[in-house]
Amino acid sequence: MSSPLVWLITGTLSGLGRDLALEALKRGDKVIATGCARSIDKLADLKAAGADILELDVTAPLEALHEVAKRAVAIHGSLNVLVNNAGYLIVGALEENTPDETFAEYNTKVFRALNVTRAFLPYMRARRSGTMILMGLVGGWIASPYTGLYVSTNVCLDYGYFRTHILAPDYTEVSKESESFLQGAEY
């Protein structure tokens, strides 16, 4: 039997992040569920289910995220799966959303997801193993009214229907031939 995976999941207060944490725990995997200081107490039921709880504000500066990554990896000695799921829904017609609301939405869902990835990636590279998941949204394919801003942040994180193994032993860089082939692909 293989060893349990160690997951760190952002956005575990509700929805898909919470469900994913509970399913991973049911499989026998180890889960580090995260939340910001103002909502960490809402993760008590995940702790009762066996998750480790770690304060993580995805909007923190990169240096602070590096410290959180160090603490997270120390909990179980490694990390196998990083799930960037933190975000929130902003609703309204684009012209009704202020520039500050727009920046806050992109900062939380896109820019900070990249910083969380930057903080944890060195640990995965050192082990030459790991999976990073950036949660997108089906709304990018099937839109709903008044969710354009929210959907646009999720589409930024959607790489499409493929998986890349850049740490695999047989990985090779994309060549001109591959790029030409992809030009004719249908999505």
**Residues assigned a catalytic role:** 146
DSSP per-residue string spanning 148-165: HHHHHHHHHT---S----
> Distance (Å, rounded) from C-alpha 71 to C-alpha 8?
12
> Distance (Å, rounded) from C-alpha 149 to C-alpha 65?
26
Q: Is 133 left (phi over 0), alpha (psi -120 to 50) or beta?
A: beta
Exposure class string for 50-64: b at 16+ Cβ within 10 A, else e: ebbbbebbbebeeee
> Distance (Å, rounded) from C-alpha 157 to C-alpha 35?
21
Residue 173 exposed, middle or buried by CB count within 10 Å (0-12, 13-18, 19+): exposed
> Distance (Å, rounded) from C-alpha 121 to C-alpha 30?
19
CB within 8 Å of 131: residues ≥ 6 apart: 80, 81, 82
